[in-house]
Amino acid sequence: MPYAVETSTPPNTPTPIGPYNHIAKVGQFISIGGTAGVNPATGQLAGPDVYSQTRQILESFGVMLESVGSDLNHVLHINVFLKDMQDFDEMNRAYIEKLGHYRPARTVIGVNELPKPGVRLTMNLTAVTKE
């Protein structure tokens, strides 16, 4: 039996900057596309630094995951696209604060450019529903 793919961008999350939704879900599997540290209330970056942007991305992920019956404790893998590897420690500081002791698989990739001015990193993830 074929599975239907459901796509969505829930309220209280950043508006996509292109023709896509943040979330794609099929069955219990969830994929969230590249997300920057944009405060959804203002439409502006959460701050100029990687720490603030990382915290905002993970807060947005929490809202997105909740909208499809999941949470940060059900993340399988996170990709981090970091503009400057010198920001690695500060990204990790915010990451640990938001995820606590939960450690999903992760890949960190250095990138030359990102589409939104001022963005220090983006992240995407794969997760499963709670049930």
Q: What is the 3-state secondary structure (H, E, C) of the chain?
A: CCCCCEEECCCCCCCCCCCCCCEEEECCEEEEEEEECECCCCCCECCCCHHHHHHHHHHHHHHHHHHCCCCHHHEEEEEEEECCHHHHHHHHHHHHHHHCCCCCEEEEEECCCCCCCCCCEEEEEEEECCC
Indicate whether 113 pLDDT > 90: yes
What percentage of the chain carries pLDDT values higher than 70? 99
Q: What is the reported pLDDT for 69?
A: 97
pLDDT band at 1 (very low <50, low <70, confident <90, very high): low
Read off the pLDDT of each residue in 31-54 and give the average, rounded to a whole number: 97
pLDDT class of 131 with cuts at 50, 70, 90: confident
Is residue 3 predicted with pLDDT exceeding 90? Answer: no
Domains and CATH numbers, the chain: 6-128 (3.30.1330.40)
> Quick one: pLDDT at residue 2?
76
d(CA 56, CA 52): 6
Q: What is the pLDDT of residues 22-33, one digit of tens each?
A: 999 999 999 999
| pLDDT of amino acid 82 | 98
